Amino acid sequence: MRPAYPHPIIAREGWPFAAAALAAALAVGVAAGWGWSVPLWLVALFVLQFFRDPPREVPDDPRAVVAAADGRVVAVERARDPWLERDALKVSVFMNVFNVHSNRSPVDGRVQKRWHHAGRFINAALDKASTENERNAVWLRTRTGEDVTCVQVAGLVARRILCYVEEGAELRRGERYGFIRFGSRVDHYLPLDAEMKAALGERVRAAESVIARLAVHG
């Protein structure tokens, strides 16, 4: 097992929000009394828990495909990968506002291409969110030639998809590559011969939970 990456406990994407919430709570407490500031302290606590980014241990198995997001598995099925125009195995993970929202690479691989598609903001737990909502897709190719597509999907509340990699980037399994604010979904499209490990309704943790194992070729 190896750590996913070194980082602070609160994701850097949340620093401005956390600072603003804490400053507002402190200012109201000092100016008007601590009783009046209680609602703002609750808001600050929510912001801190939403942007928490705990360290994770990544499985050493080179064939393991790990979850790219924390949350509940809402789809395990054979589907059409609209980005690579192929039949694939699809695993979708829904993140509510209480899940960690950092996104991690599911495999060791090189970014072949990245797409962004503007769209709607319907409930990300619904299947149609995969084709109708705003989304960002990353196509990864492993060293042994398997293609994995990882798609960040905005949700009903989520209005901001962040992706920090471009074509040609090398990612390690479990490495942080993006973030979504606030409640959303990640779709994984895997080769048809992958061995599925994820189960519908299962709770998974990004970088740690193995959702599938890639087949051995050659």
Q: For the segment 162-176, what is each residue's pLDDT rounded down to a tens digit?
A: 899 999 999 999 999
CATH no., domain 61-213: 2.70.70.10
**pLDDT average, residue stretch 100-118:** 94
1 pLDDT higher than 80? no
27 pLDDT higher than 60? yes
**pLDDT average, residue stretch 45-69:** 92
The pLDDT value recorded for residue 156 is 64
Q: Note whether 138 and 68 are within 8 A (CB).
A: no
The pLDDT value recorded for residue 28 is 95
Task: Find the catalytic residue in 37, 92, 130, 184.
Answer: 184
Residue 127's pLDDT band (boundaries 50, 70, 90)?
low
The pLDDT value recorded for residue 161 is 87
Domain spans of the chain, in order of start: 2-50, 61-213
Residues 117 and 199: their CA atoms lie apart, in Å, by 28
Residues 45 and 50: their CA atoms lie apart, in Å, by 9
Task: Express as a percent the part of the chain with pLDDT over 70.
Answer: 86
Q: Is 184 a catalytic residue?
A: yes
Which strand (E) or helix (H) includes residue 211?
A: strand 210-213
| Block residue for tokens 């973030």 | 179
pTM of the model: 0.88
* DSSP label at residue 4: S
